[in-house]
A and B are shown apart, each in its own frame.
Chain A
């Protein structure tokens, strides 16, 4: 589905990614774990084309093309979605209006009929209820004054409406209460259709118990240092990342 090949990247003058190799398989859930500051978020930003990250070497092949040459909106329209670790607030831009604009942009790009306002509201209502969101949040400014957990649910709402193919979730579980974690995980599980790929970044096992990952990758000091199955989580939980370092 997506091949990340030998990615080296800088933020400012600092080398953060030092040769990341990772193949994301269609229909699978990949998880990246790793210590704070290892470069996990930097990797997600490199994939979506964030301006802070300068890729100096390597390529990301998706649908037969190196996406690193595409502007961010084109990558998004091609089906790559990033749920941000810290979603930004955009006061004044109505949440529902924003989401419909994004959906219509995608439909237009793929020569599909654009969802009209009435259809959209219906669609939105279904998802909002499923996620247990407060309905007044869709009428508010985008993430404007949302709590940490509300922002995360709003990211999942966007994911469900936009139906992307490569879904990157950067610490979607951080700061969620028990019910929210469950709602968010169910949202993720609803998206699984055997074709979509998930790249989930987390520090905790709780969410993994819900979403059943296929692969666990450990990213440390700008490189993937280990890949394994779900059992790897147990080793990490009991021994920490230090143990791995000795291994490798």
Chain B
């Protein structure tokens, strides 16, 4: 049947699986207080940061890895992972960034050299455990915008870090968040001052290169009153036989009348067709809509990782605040994704929208898990959720787990869910009009995702579409 060929199409090789040789400073595997002390020492961190990390570490030791998600994987040996790996020389200027690293980013389509920098997009490049370069920092500073690595922020803006770090995702929030708090090595810090509309797209590109290391980054974005920023993250990793752990935390704080648009294109190595290798992606992302009329939109396109465990959430505290979640998650080969969102309505007239599109092919397992919670004071809160699943072939799975807790009778909640299959009859119809099978599949999948793609900033929408095409491309047998 035609769908067997579709499997071939969707099992296209991973394109970014290269690694580069970099002389790295890597800690031996294992996690202990002394490892944390070494990380702090390498990063020249103040005592208070060390204390916070150790507190999180001790809490983590008492916690259990969560297993409620619809994912299966062998036990992770946390003592077998290295928690810090950085290119040997900490670069002070771009001239000092290892040529191989520059070449790696160039190959990923992200030139970091001054002359070649992407127009209109400022980039923070995080390579294994450290940020190697942040572009346009100076230009942004003129507007009072801070865009730097979180390590820099800890040393340069300690008051802000002490006030906001762990304020949305506490260091002991969950197992992976606690692990991250103990060992996070780098990430991005953004502050947009009152009334400022950030003039360019900000983005972070995470690259795992070293073997046997985990990547634990932490991102903190603060949008002060009346400000706006569009922030994007992308990521990829070499193709390796062993699984690698990525446990990140993202905290967003949105003040009165401010807005953050946060977009992710996740393309970690997904593992091979037998389920060997791939990134385990356990991520906690949360936004606090603190002020009135604040707004956050999470848009994610999840194509990579062996396992995705991720629920970008919105705490709608300010009256009239708005939370949005747009997601496309694709699982093929043996990939498993358990992803969704939480919308916590606290303030009056808070509104949330959830659009989730799950695509499963081959032996992929895709679960949507979403919570809509309306607290007693959230008068006239509204939520609309739509969760659609598209199945390609018969060995894959799609699951939907919507949870709803309403404590206010004036709330309006709507939930729609559909499951459809790319069927042979549709493919045949398109082929009878002269469209190749490959393009036919791609058209149907793109059509299915278009509401979400429409939310991405233009440059990234193009990238997402191409990525989807690559995932779908291949020889038709």
Residues of A whose CB lies within 8 Å of any CB of B are: 48, 50-51, 71-73, 76-77, 81-82, 84, 87-94, 97-98, 101-102, 105-106, 109, 141, 158, 162
Contact = CB atoms under 8 A, between A and B. Distances in A.
B430 A98 contact: yes
A186 B432 CA distance: 23
B429 A73 contact: no
Given A93-B444, A93-B447, A141-B447, A105 B435 contact: yes
18 contacts: A73-B434, A77-B434, A81-B432, A82-B432, A88-B426, A90-B444, A91-B420, A91-B447, A92-B448, A92-B450, A93-B443, A93-B447, A94-B447, A98-B443, A102-B430, A102-B434, A105-B434, A105-B435
Interface residues of B, number: 24
Contacts of B443: 93, 97-98, 101
A105 B426 CA distance: 18
B431 A73 contact: yes
Contacts of B447: 90-94, 141
B365 interface: no
B137 interface: no
A48 B426 contact: no
Contacts of B434: 73, 76-77, 102, 105-106, 109, 162
Interface string B416-450: 00001001111011111111110100011011101
B1 interface: yes
Which residue, A51, A84, A90, has most C-beta atoms of chain B within 10 A? A90
Contacts of B450: 92
A79 B458 CA distance: 37
A82 B420 CA distance: 25
A18 B435 CA distance: 31
Contacts of B430: 90, 93, 98, 102
A30 B446 CA distance: 39
B76 interface: no
B428 A50 contact: yes
Contacts of A82: 432
B106 interface: no
B464 to A, nearest CB: 16
Nearest to A45: B428
B2 interface: yes
A48 B432 contact: yes
A51 B428 contact: yes
A50 B424 CA distance: 10
Contact of B431 (A71, A87, A92, A94): A71
B433 A102 contact: yes
B433 A90 contact: no
Contact of B435 (A81, A91, A102): A102
Contacts of B431: 71-73, 76
B432 A76 contact: yes
Nearest to A80: B432
Nearest to B433: A102
Given A88-B426, A90-B430, A51 B2 contact: yes
B432 A88 contact: no
B429 A105 contact: no
Nearest to A83: B432
Interface in B17-76: none
Contact of A51 (B424, B435, B444, B448): B424
A81 B447 CA distance: 24
Closest 10 CB pairs of A and B: A92-B447, A76-B434, A102-B433, A93-B447, A72-B431, A73-B431, A77-B434, A105-B434, A88-B425, A88-B429
Nearest to A84: B429
Nearest to A87: B429
B444 A101 contact: no
B429 A101 contact: no
B2 A73 contact: no
Given A92-B446, A92-B450, A101-B435, 17 more contacts: A51-B2, A71-B431, A72-B431, A76-B432, A87-B429, A88-B429, A89-B426, A90-B444, A92-B444, A94-B447, A98-B430, A98-B435, A102-B433, A102-B434, A105-B435, A106-B434, A109-B434
A109 B68 CA distance: 52
A218 to B, nearest CB: 26
B204 to A, nearest CB: 31
Which residue, A48, A77, A87, A88, has most C-beta atoms of chain B within 10 A? A88
Contacts of B426: 88-90
Given A51-B1, A141-B447, A90 B436 contact: no
A48 B428 CA distance: 10
Contacts of A94: 447
